[in-house]
Chains A and B, each alone.
Chain A
Amino acid sequence: NAGVTQTPKFQVLKTGQSMTLQCAQDMNHEYMSWYRQDPGMGLRLIHYSVGAGITDQGEVPNGYNVSRSTTEDFPLRLLSAAPSQTSVYFCASSPYSGRSETQYFGPGTRLLVL
C-alpha cells in the first residue's frame, strides 16, 4: 500500500490564484481530514470527511473547499489564494469508521503564496 499520498510536494502561487491540493489513500479509510501547519503552531483542522459524499468544517475552513466523491480521494481547493494561506498542508486518514483517532498522515504540501 502507498498509504496517504499528496501532490504536489511544493507549490508557489500568486495572490488571487486558485489551485487544488490532491490527497489520496489506498487503505479504504472512511475518515479523511486536512490540516495546515504554521511555524510554532500545531496542526489546525481545515475540513474533514467521514465518508464519500459527507464533509464538514474544522477549525479554520474559510478560504478552502473540499469534496469527497470517492472513498479514496479528498481534494482541498483554495478558492482565491492569500499570503495568509502560506503554510504546510497535511492530509490524513483514519481506519476507524467515522472517527478521527489514529490518523495516518501524508508527507505534506508546502504552499507559498506571494
Chain B
Amino acid sequence: SQQGEEDPQALSIQEGENATMNCSYKTSINNLQWYRQNSGRGLVHLILIRSNEREKHSGRLRVTLDTSKKSSSLLITASRAADTASYFCATDTGGFKTIFGAGTRLFVKA
C-alpha cells in the first residue's frame, strides 16, 4: 500500500503562475521528501523536510509539513515551462524504506 497520496493528480497552469501540490500520508514519519521526474527519466531529489520542521525553502520551492494533519505541500513560485514534470512525495518512516506516492503531473504552458 502507498503511504503518500498527492493531490491533485494533474495540474495545468500558465507560465509565471504558482503551482501548489499536496501530499497526505497515513503513519508517523521521520522525514518527507519531494522528487521531480521528467518524462522518460529517473527521479531527481528536490527537498527533504524532517518531522520536526514546519517549512523549508530551496530557490523557487517552498515545502510545508503539518504532522498533526499528516500532510505536506509543495509550492513552486513563478513557474516556468521547464517545470513541466511529475512531482512525487516520498515518506520515510524508519530510515531504510522510502515510500512514494502516485505523483502529481504538472503542465506549465508557455
Contacts and interface: CB of A to CB of B under 8 A. Distances in A.
Interface in A28-86: 31, 33, 35, 40-45, 48, 50, 56, 58-59
Contacts of A33: 98
A44 B44 CA distance: 16
Interface in B1-44: 1-2, 4, 31, 33, 40-44
Interface in B69-106: 88, 90, 92, 95-103
B48 A101 contact: yes
A102 B30 CA distance: 13
A100 B98 contact: yes
B contact residues, range: 20 to 34
B54 interface: no
Interface residues of A, number: 28
A22 interface: no
* Residue of A33, A50, A103, A106 most packed against chain B (CB within 10 A): A103
Contacts of B45: 102-104
Nearest to B41: A107
Contacts, number: 67
Contact of B42 (A56, A58, A90): A90
A45 B31 CA distance: 17
A20 B31 CA distance: 32
Shortest Cβ-Cβ A-B pairs, 6 listed: A105-B42, A42-B100, A43-B100, A100-B98, A105-B43, A99-B95
10 contacts: A33-B98, A42-B101, A42-B103, A43-B43, A59-B99, A99-B92, A99-B95, A104-B45, A105-B44, A108-B42
